[in-house]
Structure 1
Amino acid sequence: MGRAAVFDVDGTLADTNHLHVTTWWEAFRQAGHDVPMHAVHRAVGLGSDDLIAHLLGEDRDEDQDDAISAAHKTLYGTYFDRLPALRDAGRLLKKLHGDGWTVVLATSAGGAELKALRRAIDADDVIAAVASADDVERGKPAPEPVQQALELAGVPAERAVFVGDTVWDMRAGTRAGVTCVGVLSGGIPRADLEEAGARAVYDDPAHLLASLGDSPFAALA
Structure 2
Amino acid sequence: MTSTRRSPAFLFDLDGTLVDSVYQHVLSWREALVEHGIDLSVWRIHRRIGMSGGLFVQALLAETGIELSEADTEALQAAHARHYLRHHEAVRPLPGARALLEHLTATGTPWAVATSGRAETALPTLRELGVPEGVPVVTRDRVRYAKPDPDLFLAAADELGVDVRDALVVGDSVWDLLAARRAGALGVGLQSGGYGRDELERAGAFRVYADPADVLRRLHELGVRR
Q: TM-score range by the shorter chain?
A: over 0.9
Helix, strand or coil for the counterpart of 1:33? Answer: coil
Report the Cα distance in structure 2 between the residues aligned to 1:2 and 1:12, rounded to whole angstroms.
Answer: 20
Q: Which residue of 2 aligns with 1:216?
A: 222
Paired residue for 2:78?
70
Q: Deviations over 1:58-92 (max 9, x none)?
A: 76122421221111111111133442110110110
Confirm or deny: 8 A CA contact 1:94 1:123 kept in the other structure: no
- Alignment partner for residue 139 of structure 1, among 141, 146, 154? 146
Are 1:100 and 2:108 an aligned pair?
yes
Q: In structure 1, which of residues 113, 135, 155 is the aligned counterpart of residue 121 of structure 2?
A: 113
Task: Give the match for residue 29 of structure 2.
Answer: 24
TM-score in terms of structure 1 length = 0.92
Q: SS of the residue aligned with 1:32? A: coil
Q: What number of residue pairs does the alignment pair up?
A: 218
> Do structure 1's residue 37 and structure 2's residue 45 form an aligned pair?
no
Matched-pair contact (CA < 8 Å) for 2:53–2:117:
no
Instruction: Verify the 8 A CA contact 2:7 2:223 in the aligned structure 1.
Output: no
**Residues 11 and 168 of structure 2 are in contact (CA less than 8 Å); yes or no, is this contact kept in structure 1?**
yes
Q: Which moved more, 1:26-35 or 1:58-67?
A: 58-67
In the alignment, the residues of structure 2 paired with residue 134 and residue 217 of structure 1 have an alpha-carbon distance, to the nearest angstrom, of: 32
1:49 to 33, 50, 54: 54
Runs of 4+ in structure 1 over 3 Å off: none
In the alignment, the residues of structure 2 paired with residue 112 and residue 82 of structure 1 have an alpha-carbon distance, to the nearest angstrom, of 17
What is the Cα deviation at residue 171 of structure 1? 0.4
Deviation (angstroms), 1:202: 0.3
Cα deviation for residue 55 of structure 1 reads 0.2
Secondary structure class of the residue paired with 1:128: coil
For normalisation by structure 2, the TM-score amounts to: 0.91
Residues 11-51 of structure 1: per-residue CA shift (max 9 Å, x gap): 00000000011110111111111111001001001111000
Opposite residue 138 of structure 2, the aligned amino acid is A
Are 1:163 and 2:163 matched, yes or no?
no
- Give the counterpart of 1:205 among 177, 197, 212: 212
Secondary structure of the 1:124 match is coil
SS in 2 for 1:150: helix
Matches within 5 A, 1:172-187: 172-187=179-194
**RMSD of aligned alpha carbons:** 1.8
Percentage identity across aligned positions? 33
Partner Cα separation in structure 2 for residue 192 and residue 21 of structure 1? 19
CA distance in 2, matches of 1:91, 1:52: 35
Which one-letter code corresponds to 1:176 in the other structure? Answer: A
Matched residues in 1 for 2:66 and 2:84: separation?
A: 27
CA distance in 1, matches of 2:61, 2:30: 12
Which residue identity lines up with residue 212 of structure 2 in the other structure? P
Structure 1 residues without counterparts, runs of 5 or longer = none
Cα distance in 2, alignment partners of residues 93 and 3 from structure 1? 14
CA contact 2:8–2:224 (8 Å) conserved in 1: no
